[in-house]
Chains A and B, each alone.
Chain A
Amino acid sequence: MAKYLMLKHYRGAPAARNDVPMSEWTPDEVTAHMQYMNDFAHRLVETGEFVASQALAPEGAWVQYGGEGKPPVTDGPFAETKDLIAGWMIIDVDTYDRAVELAGELSAAPGAGGRPLHEWLELRRFYDDVPGSDA
Chain B
Amino acid sequence: MDSDLIRTLGPQVLTILLGRGADFAAAEDAVQEALVEAFVGWPDRPPRDPKAWLVTVAWRKFLDATRSEAARRRREETTAAEPVAGDVVDADESLTLYFLCAHPSLSPSSAVALTLRAVGGLTTRQIADAYLVPEATMAQRISRAKKTVSGERLTVPGDVATVLRTLYLVFNEGYSGDVDLAAEAIRLTRGLSEAVDHPEVAGLLALMLLHHARRPARTGPDGDLVPLAEQDRARWDTALIAEGVRVLQNALARDRLGEYQAQAAIAALHADAQTVEETDWVQIVEWYDELVALADTPVVRLNRAVAVGEADGPRAGLAALSDLDPSLPRYAAVEAHLRERDDDLAAAARLYVEAADRARDVAERNHLIKQAARIRERIQSRAWPPRD
Contacts and interface: CB of A to CB of B under 8 A. Distances in A.
Interface in A34-59: 34-35, 38, 55, 57-59
B373 A55 contact: no
Interface in B368-388: 369-370, 372-374, 376-377
B222 A34 contact: yes
Interface stretch (A20-28, A65-73, A97-105, A113-121): A20-28
B131 to A, nearest CB: 15
Interface residues of B, number: 17
A48 to B, nearest CB: 21
Contacts of A30: 366, 369-370, 373
Contacts of A26: 373, 377
Contact of A27 (B353, B360, B365, B370): B370
Tell me which of A27, A38, A59 has the highest count of chain B C-beta atoms within 10 A of its own C-beta. Answer: A27
Contacts of A38: 222
Contacts of A57: 357-360
Interface in B329-368: 353, 356-360, 362, 365-366
B373 A27 contact: yes
A95 interface: no
Q: Is the interface of B mostly helix, strand, loop or mixed?
A: helix
A59 to B, nearest CB: 7
A23 B366 contact: no
A24 B376 contact: yes
Interface range on chain A: under 10, 10 to 19, 20 to 34, or 35 or more?
A: 10 to 19
Contacts of B373: 23-27, 29-30
Contacts of B362: 55
A31 interface: yes
Q: Is the interface of A mostly helix, strand, loop or mixed?
A: helix
A59 B374 contact: no
B357 A58 contact: yes
A116 to B, nearest CB: 19
Interface string A6-31: 00000000000000001111110111
A59 B357 contact: yes
B222 A23 contact: no
Nearest to A23: B353
A27 B362 CA distance: 15
Contacts of A34: 222, 366
Contacts of B222: 31, 34-35, 38
B148 to A, nearest CB: 25
Contacts of A29: 373
A113 to B, nearest CB: 13
A103 to B, nearest CB: 21
A96 to B, nearest CB: 29
Given A26-B373, A38-B222, 5 more contacts: A23-B356, A25-B373, A30-B366, A57-B359, A59-B358
Interface of A: 22-27, 29-31, 34-35, 38, 55, 57-59
List of 9 A-B pairs having minimum Cβ-Cβ separation, nearest first:
A27-B370, A23-B353, A27-B373, A55-B362, A58-B357, A26-B373, A30-B370, A27-B374, A30-B369
